[in-house]
Amino acid sequence: MTGSRARGADTWVTAALLVYVVAFMLFLIAPLAVVVLVSFSAESYVAFPVEHYSLRWFERFFEYKPFVNSFILSVEVALLSALAGAALGVPAALAIVRSRSRIAGAAMTFLLSPLSLPHIVLGFSLLFFLALFGQGISFVSLVAAHTVVSLPYIVRTVAGIYRGVSPNLEETAFVLGASRWQVFRHVTFPIIRPGLFAGCLLAVLLSLDNLSVSLFFGGPSTSTLPVVMLSYMESQFDPSIAAASTIQLLVALVVLLIVERTFGLKGLSAG
């Protein structure tokens, strides 16, 4: 009798947990679903539920040059900042993980510090700092700011995988006569590649969606898509904003699909 009650209690707990998970997922997905549905609205104003469907607002997105130009700029900045973050973050992560110095922990904390700073404070500070070097509001400053934001994710993912790798693998390669570059190319890089790819993926996605930092560097030729969308909403609010958001969501889904086809999502955590 006691066993039956225990099984019944476990069933209720499992059912309650399932209901909670489903409700939580709906809570997360529902706003995105509403935005996607509104982007197909035929009305000239934002309204839900949508009564008539059309592609007019997607046409508006591609006809409105500031949207297109800022979208191209966002992609360029995201890719360049991810590459710059990889170039800076990989050597730093490898050196910190293998270092026996006491300052290694402090160095890691410093590299991860942008995660704990509000992006508004970070953007404001970077604007003044880069202005000291004559950059100010420029494409270079925008890429540099996004690199600072993306660097912690790359350092963290690469260091997380590299920390679980035995130093004996690299030491064996050195003993067999491999140079430092050959060890990195044939031993170290294949091991850290999933972590590097995952970090760069996060960097690209976060850069495409970044507003708080990009806003400080927004000029006539340096405004990313989120900045242009915010500026557009100040004067008019129509479903073209939803269409732009849907396109951003589609880009993220395409990137995730490429990752799944290339590595598999499980492969990103493989050491």
Alpha helices in 99-188 (DSSP H): 103-112, 119-131, 139-162, 167-175, 180-183
Q: What is the CATH number of domain 65-269?
A: 1.10.3720.10
Alpha-carbon span 219 to 199, nearest angstrom: 28
The packing angle between helices 240-262 and 225-235, to 10°, is 160
Query: What residue has token string 């060890």?
Result: 183
CB atoms within 10 A of CB 193: 16
Q: Where are the domains of the chain?
A: 65-269
In the beta sheet, which residues pair with residue 41? 53
- Single pTM value for the model: 0.79
Task: Give the pLDDT of the chain (271 residues) as one tens digit per residue.
Answer: 555 655 656 677 788 888 889 898 888 888 888 888 888 887 777 777 777 788 888 888 888 888 888 899 999 999 999 999 999 988 888 888 888 778 888 888 888 888 888 888 888 888 888 888 777 788 888 899 999 999 999 998 888 888 877 777 777 777 777 778 887 888 888 888 888 888 888 888 888 888 888 888 877 788 888 888 888 887 787 788 888 888 888 888 887 777 777 665 555 444 4
The number of C-alpha atoms within 13 Å of 80 and in the hemisphere containing its C-beta is 14
The packing angle between helices 225-235 and 65-98, to 10°, is 140
CB atoms within 10 A of CB 96: 21
The SS3 of residue 53 is strand
